[in-house]
Structures are given as C-alpha cells and as structure tokens.
Structure 1
C-alpha cells in the first residue's frame, strides 16, 4: 500500500506535534501516560508557589501543582489544583501544607496523611495549611528592627547637623593636637622617664628584700610558738581563773555584810558615831576657849593653889557638868 507524499507529510506533522506536546508536558512535570487523581486546595496566599511545583509526602515527590486560579467569588483566594498519583491514600484527614522548599523562597505542598476515615476518589478539596518558613520568621523579626534602625539613623542625621559636624571635627583636631603635645612631652622627658623606671626597679628589688625579712620574721614567730609550753600556759590560766573566782566570792561576802569589813563598808552607824563625837569635841573646844574657868579650879585651902585639869574628853565633860550644877546651886541660894 503506497501513501502519497502529502499523507506522509501530514502523518509526520501529527507525530511531531504529539511528541512536542508530550515533551512539553514532561518538562512541566506532567506525565500524560499516567492515571493520576486530581484534588483541590484553597489558600489565602500562595507566595512562591508556581505551577509544576512538587507535591511531597515526607519529602518524596508524589505529584505536582497542575493549575492555580484566582477565585474572586471567595474573596480573592487561590484555588490550587493538585495532580497526585492514584496509589496515594488521600482522605478526609489529609492536610495540604504549603511549605518552603529552599532558602530562596520557592514553595512546595507537603501532604500530611493521617488516619483517614474516608478515602477520596478524586476531585475533593483537601485541608489547607500554611507553614511559616525560616525566611518568614526572620522577616517578621527583622522588619521591626529595621524600622527602629531606620528611625534611629534619621534621628542621628537630624542630630548631626552642620554645627554638630563642625564641633566633632574640632574635637578630633584638638585630640590630634593633644596627642602631638603628649608625644613632644614624652620625648622631652625621656631621661626623667628612664630614671623613674630605674627607681621603680630599685624599689621593687628593695621590696623583695623586705619580703624575705618578713618571711624570716614569720618563721621566727612560728618557731617561738612551737617552743611555748602550752600546758604551763593552761595551768597559769586555770590559776588566774580560780583567783578571779575567789575575788568575786570575797566581794560578794563584803556586799552581804559578812564580817567586820562588810559591816564597816555597808553599815553607817560607825560614821554616825564618829560624826557625833566630832561635833561634841568641837563644841567642847569652843566652850573651853570661851569659859576656861569651868575646867580649871583654884583652891586656897590647904596651903597652896591646886589646879585640876581635865586630861580626857570624858573628864572635861564631867567637869563642865559639875560646874553647871555648882552655878545652878549658887543661883538658888
């Protein structure tokens, strides 16, 4: 059977078109020869997701994103069509998580297949979920910080006006001049600095010698401490304790009026008696100066003059009493 050239060209063109379509679909990731199932997911935002992006289960590719469409009737949500292999058990508990596939922001859909009570046959809607990526978290954290930094820079630019810049420049120039002055002073006093360094070195050497003497003194003190008789010191301390105890007992007895010394210190009768005797003696002396005849008697009978003097205080008192009685009798006569 012979074909005409036109028929051969037509058949070749059809084969070429079919091959081109199959190749194009293959490059998109769609296998037209496989019998996959189609499912739908609705997301609020699909930033980074594109057609032909993979559908994964635990990191293994089981399908691809077949189509995305903006649904204006449902608040501009995105309807995503998934082409999944038919042997994957997709059911009512399957969650389609929108996750990041790399650090550049590309997205993929990761299926979480739980315990399905009902297995889908195709054409059903899956449960949507958007997993926040590391890039999203960093962006969420970095945006407030960037805003703060921007406002800080603006305030710094406002602060650093022309006058402030001139002041900063003058401060830097003064600091440079001060540094040059310090350098000149250091060069001019290099000899003094060397002498001070030498003196410090000698002082350090002297301190080291003093340290050795202190160490020797500490060793001597340790030796003296070791040679002390601890038992003798303990006996002396015990003797001192007993002496203090006896002194305390003696003071306690004196305070309790036990014995002559206690009565003398605590009883004021002796003081009263001494005070009364002193008063009587004072009166006697005053009376003796005023009336000496009361205590000295002259007698013309018996061939001479006899003078009787009081030798003691008691005799003087008796003489005074007798003279008083004698005067009283004379008055009565």
Structure 2
C-alpha cells in the first residue's frame, strides 16, 4: 500500500511535534526513563530559582524543579513543585532548603533527610528553608557602605565649589613654581653638589682604609689572644702559687720568732727599755759634749812652763773616768732591768 505525499507529510509533522514536545519536557528536566515522585515546597521568595533547576541530595542531583506558581491568596508566596527519583526516602522530617548554586545568584533546592517517622508517597508538602546566599550577605553589608560613600561624595562636591577649585589651582601653580625654583637652584649649585659628591667619595675611601686598619688590628688581637691561649699559663700560675705559699710560710715563721720574748730579736721588737736606755745614753753624751764646748780648760790644759800639766791632766782624766764609770754603771743597770723584764 503506497501512501500519498499528504499522508507522509502528516506523519512526519506528527513525529516532529511529538519529538519537540518530549524534547521540551526533557530540557525542562523531565526524565521519561526514570520513575519519579512529585512533592511541593512553599517559599516566601524564590529569587534566582528557575524551572528545571536542580534538586540536590548530598551533592548529587536527584530531581528537578518542575513548576512554580504564585499563590495570591497566601501572601504572594510561591508554591514550587519538584520531582524526586523513586527510592529517595522523603518523609515528614525532610527539609527542602533553597540554596545558592553559584556566585552569580543561581539557586537550587537541597534536600536534608531527617529521622522520618512517616514516609511520603508523593504529593505532600515538604518543610521549607531559605539559606542566605553570599550575594545577599554582601548586599546587606554593601548597602550601608554605599550610602556612606554617596553622602561622602555629596559632601566632597559641596566642598569643591568655585573657591575651592581656585584654591586647588593656585596650590598646583605654587607647587609648579616651587619645583621650578628647586630645579634652578640645583642647576646653579651644580658645582657645589659636585664638590660635595667628591668629598663624600673621599670620605668613603678614608672609611674603607680605616676599616682595613681595624681589620688588621682585629687580626693582631686574634693572634695575641691565640698566643696567650697557647702560653703555659697553668705552669706559671702553679709556680706563683708555690712562691706565695713559701713566702707565707716564711712570714709565719718570722712572726712566731718575733712573738717569742726570750730571743734577742724578740726583745728588741717587743721591749722598749733598750730604746729608753739608748735615749738616756745619748742625752748624757750630748750633755758631756756641751760641757766640753763650754769649758774646754776643764778637760784640756796647756802650760808653757810645765809643771801643772800632769796634775791637770790627771784631774781631767779622773773626771772623765768618773763620767765614763757613771755612764757604764747606768748602762749596766738598764741592761739588768731589760734582762729582768
């Protein structure tokens, strides 16, 4: 049986319309090859959510947004119909959260499963929840800042009136003049600047030479330190300690000797009677010398004829002997007193 051209065109049109219908439904998120259940969620605002938007569970797409209807009689809330794959345990504790899917404001519905006491079979209304997006938070934070910026710009515009603009222009002109004056001054003092640069260079050279001298001094100090470190300091210290110990022992022995009063040195150091006797003898000798100077004839007599010389000499000798005897007796008495002490 041959079909006419008109029938072929009609059949082709029917196939095209059917393919277009199913393709449109597929693009909207309807899966013809998987069994699904339909549920509803009521949101106060679905800004960014579109039909065929994803329904996610733990990061996996398990359904799509099928429809959205505005409920005028329910405070203009939006009733969203979603389809979920069979086998997903949707129940009375399941939360349908409206979350952000990207930074551009796109929205998706994320399912959070709880401990469901009742399992839904389809057509029930889930618990809604709207999560604040980053865009919303940034908008809330940015709006006050934008208001302040706007007011600041208004104040700045009010300040930048005609007088302020003229003042700014005069400031810019003064700055230009100051710059030109500095340039002229630098050109005029170029020779001085060159001299200063040369002096700085010479100073740098001197500092470099001084640094080299300090380096040599430091190396010499290091050599001296190494020499002192390697010197036999320990043996020198031991010898010094031995010498000091011997000197201390000698001083101790001398003190013990001096502390004994029976010896001659001990008597000289500890008894002052000998000093007293020697002082008395010195005074007697001084008196004798003074008397000899005052009366020399009493001790020495000269005669041209002779005759009385021997007698006078004898008298003088007797007188001198008496003085010596008295002195010796006094010294003997002093020695006896010292020995008694």
The bucket for the TM-score relative to the shorter chain is 0.5 to 0.7
In the aligned structure 2, how far is the partner of 1:158 from the partner of 1:118? 67
Q: Please, what TM-score do these two structures have when normalized by structure 1?
A: 0.59
Q: How many aligned positions are there?
A: 234
In the aligned structure 1, how far is the partner of 2:114 from the partner of 2:178? 76
Alpha carbons of 1:199 and 1:17: their partners in 2 closer, same or farther (altered >3 Å)? Answer: closer
Q: Please, what TM-score do these two structures have when normalized by structure 2?
A: 0.58
Alpha carbons of 1:28 and 1:194: their partners in 2 closer, same or farther (altered >3 Å)? Answer: same
CA offset digits 1:131-183 (Å, max 9, x no partner): 22222222222222222222212211111111111111111111111111111
2:97 and 2:130 in contact (8 A); partners too:
yes
2:51 and 2:67 in contact (8 A); partners too:
yes
In the aligned structure 1, how far is the partner of 2:201 from the partner of 2:150? 56
In the aligned structure 2, how far is the partner of 1:160 from the partner of 1:89? 67
Tell me the equivalent position of 1:134.
134
Alpha carbons of 1:3 and 1:170: their partners in 2 closer, same or farther (altered >3 Å)? Answer: closer
In the aligned structure 1, how far is the partner of 2:160 from the partner of 2:19? 69
Alpha carbons of 1:91 and 1:196: their partners in 2 closer, same or farther (altered >3 Å)? Answer: same
2:27 and 2:52 in contact (8 A); partners too:
no
Alpha carbons of 1:125 and 1:217: their partners in 2 closer, same or farther (altered >3 Å)? Answer: same
Q: Does 1:89 align with 2:83?
A: no
TM-fit CA distance, 1:72: 2.0
CA offset digits 1:269-313 (Å, max 9, x no partner): xxxxxxxxxxxxxxxxxxxxxxxxxxxxxxxxxxxxxxxxxxxxx
- Give the unaligned 5+ runs of structure 1: 236-333
Q: Does 1:55 align with 2:49?
A: no
Tell me the equivalent position of 1:19.
19
- SS for the counterpart of 2:128 is strand
Tell me the equivalent position of 1:329.
none
Q: Within 5 Å, which residues of 2 pair with 1:93-104? A: 93-104=93-104
Q: Within 5 Å, which residues of 2 pair with 1:209-220? A: none
In the aligned structure 2, how far is the partner of 1:12 from the partner of 1:209? 104
CA offset digits 1:178-206 (Å, max 9, x no partner): 11111111111111111122223334445
In the aligned structure 2, how far is the partner of 1:4 from the partner of 1:210? 116
Tell me the equivalent position of 2:279.
none
- SS for the counterpart of 2:119 is coil
In the aligned structure 2, how far is the partner of 1:92 from the partner of 1:44? 20
